Amino acid sequence: MRQMATYDLMETMRNTNEWLGATARAMASYPVFGLTSNPMFDMVEAWGRVTERSFARMVTKPAWGIRTVVGEDGKDHLVELETEMKRPFGDLVRFRVNGRREKSRRILLCAPMSGHYATLLRSTVASLLPDAELWITDWHNARDIPVSEGKFDIEDYTQYLVDFMKFLGPDTHVIAVCQPAPLALAATAMLAEEAPDAQPLTLTLIGGPIDPDAAATEVTDFGRRVTMGQLEHLAIQRVGFKHAGVGRQVYPGLLQLAGFISMNLDRHAQAFSDKIAAEARGEGSERDQHNRFYDEYLAVMDMTAEFYLSTVERIFKNGEIAKNEFVVNGKSVDIGKVTNVATMIVEGAKDDISAPGQCLAALDLLTGLPDAYKAQHLEPGAGHYGIFAGSSWRNNIRPLVFSFMDTHAERKSKATSKPAVTLAASND
């Protein structure tokens, strides 16, 4: 009950701030105040508008907002979202482009489960969709999942990826962004041993903590400083009475958001100060840069307690992936079993979340993979978000990833055609 009361207290505080913002906006925008020249009313109205919007967004899942894609014929083609595999903790969602000839590239985009929704990768999706058939892992907010659905930890997450890859088949290119990179690597290794014919064509890992100890960041330092007991005591709460997941232990999204903001408090404070001033001057707009960024940034979701704690303990503290000692459902996963899935590593030179070297460690673990199947790229001047969104991604990284995919798709196509010729010759 104590944990549930704390969870509901956070929601009460959020709800109260949203109400205060709405009240200030409504009160200060009465037409009668237009008779005065006091700018205070403009500032109060602006503060209320920004505050109401910001606190409301914290409990709202953002829309994808990708309505059309321009095809090779120069026409706009409508995009529809289809759920092709529905699971309690996450779905496999396809972005189907209507009226367009199907693309040869089939991409599974593994979205992180790290506090934000899969829509955090909206710009990544928009950049890939014109040139590929695209699926994404759409993880659910843990507060909306009944306790009766059971647990969900990193082993379950990995098994979900295995199932999604099997469903899509061996002609799929997998891209894992940030948090799922080590688990996507493990899932590929599981397929290499259990279902070799279902392995993806290529695997691209972008800024993920394969070996967190390879390069220290504030994230890895925190993981080393805090004990698991402290973490469970400070971060874990039970979902309150308002949601379907009442009683489920989670790492609340609102608590995660407080941590995100505290890492760059000065920058966020300045951004909101500038936004309020712009609104007071009448220069604000619904879809300006501030709102586009913070509508997504402030929208947070709860993670199951077991997923968060197992990630910290097994990936960051124990380094099970880095040591090739990861276990799923009691069975060891040997990354060295991967022998023919071309793997590309992408890192940002200024990444302060998953520093250069952490993701690159994957290539050393792939002992069974020929060097010709390995590739790496370090993007100069790019931070964490820049390697999967923004100009660095669009202009530099995306073309390299497509070229990598096409090269190894062609290589695999030629390799599979050779045995038939050899067999025919031997029969003669």
DSSP letter for each residue of 201-238: SEEEEES--SSGGGS--HHHHHHHHS-HHHHHHHH-EE
pLDDT tens for residues 52-88?
A: 999 999 988 999 999 999 888 888 999 999 999 999 9
Mean pLDDT of the chain: 90
Q: How confident is the model at residue 423 (pLDDT cuts 50, 70, 90)?
A: very low
What confidence tens digit (pLDDT) does each residue in 225-262 have?
888 998 888 899 999 988 999 999 999 999 999 888 88
